[in-house]
Amino acid sequence: MTREPDDSSKQLAQRVGAVASLCEVASTEQLSTSIYQVALRGNARTLAGTPGNDVMIRLDDDKGRHVRRRYSVRGLDEGTDEFTLWITIEHEGPGSIWVKAAQPGDLVDVIGPRGKIALDPLADWHLFVGDASGLAAFYRMAESIEVPSRAIFIVEIDAADDAVSAPFGEGLGVTGIFVDRQHRSMSDAAGLLSGLAAFALPPDTGHAYLFGEFHVMRVLQEALLDRGLEPEQISHKAFWRSGRSNAEHGEPEKIED
């Protein structure tokens, strides 16, 4: 079996200024009802990039076509040359099907690092808002915050055990608000809006990071602008779009409904 990534991955990586590698599944673990962790081994330091970055993996869809899906890097272990991804399975797609079946030793075509959103080094506090698909990026970014500082998480979950926690170093003030979706539509922002409304934004200068469903991200951005944040204080990225499969490049199509 070849130990090189597909030629199409090499070409794509060159176009986007990234690196293509063939990684080996080191381990998988179901962390909660909706979240699986997969550790990939190989070229980890380069592929993982900096906190907030993601990788693009090459998978097959239900019609046997090659597609790519993007997942935020949760953690990096340079000693074992491994990086971890958290993949949510609350909506079925190529990624959720793959991670549930993945076994140690499987090979996967990876391009990384990808992504343009990074932690704001000048912010006094950091607000992370989204659904469980954003947790990996949220936690890795928060772990890189220089202390003393503050991290606030407002995350919508589908099951109680999806409120997966993470350890943070001393000096970082942490507030976590997990909102039960309560069977609302995944494109309904009401739950996260209620969580946001229940929290008084700290004084000084902050930065908000919004990761999750396409429509919800738009609504949350407007809500934060209404709360007084400036556009440059808000970083947002739609990871997926309710009712539509992501495009072949791994991101939701940017089309109007």
Query: Cβ contacts of residue 35 below 8 Å, gap of 6+?
Result: 86, 87, 88, 89, 132, 135, 162, 164
Q: Determine contact, residues 2/9, Cβ cutoff 8 Å.
A: no
Report if residue 70 sits inside a domain.
yes
Q: Under DSSP, is residue 97 helix (H, G, I), strand (E, B) or coil? A: helix
Residues 96 and 146 grouped into a single domain: no
Final residue of a structural domain among 61, 95, 114 = 114
Q: How confident is the model at residue 244 (pLDDT cuts 50, 70, 90)?
A: low
pTM of the shown model: 0.92
Q: How many CB atoms lie within 10 A of CB 115?
A: 20
Residues 108 and 130 grouped into a single domain: no
pLDDT in tens, 73-130: 999 999 999 999 999 997 778 999 999 999 999 999 999 999 999 999 999 999 999 9
Residues 150 and 210 grouped into a single domain: yes
Residues 95 and 157 grouped into a single domain: no
Residue 131, domain CATH: 3.40.50.80
Run of H or E residues at 210: strand 206-213
Residue 73, domain CATH: 2.40.30.10
Residues 66 and 160 grouped into a single domain: no
Residues 136 and 235 grouped into a single domain: yes
What does 36-87 look like in DSSP terms, one character per residue?
A: EEEEEESSHHHHH-STT-EEEEEEE-TTS-EEEEEEEEEEEETTTTEEEEEE
Report if residue 151 sits inside a domain.
yes
Higher pLDDT, 257 or 132: 132
Number of domains in the chain: 2
pLDDT in tens, 197-222: 988 999 899 999 999 999 999 999 99
| Strands 82-88 and 35-41, bridge-based pairing | antiparallel
Report if residue 154 sits inside a domain.
yes
Q: Which residues face 44 on adjacent strands?
A: none
Q: Could you tell me the residue range of the domain that residue 76 belongs to?
A: 7-114
Report if residue 200 sits inside a domain.
yes
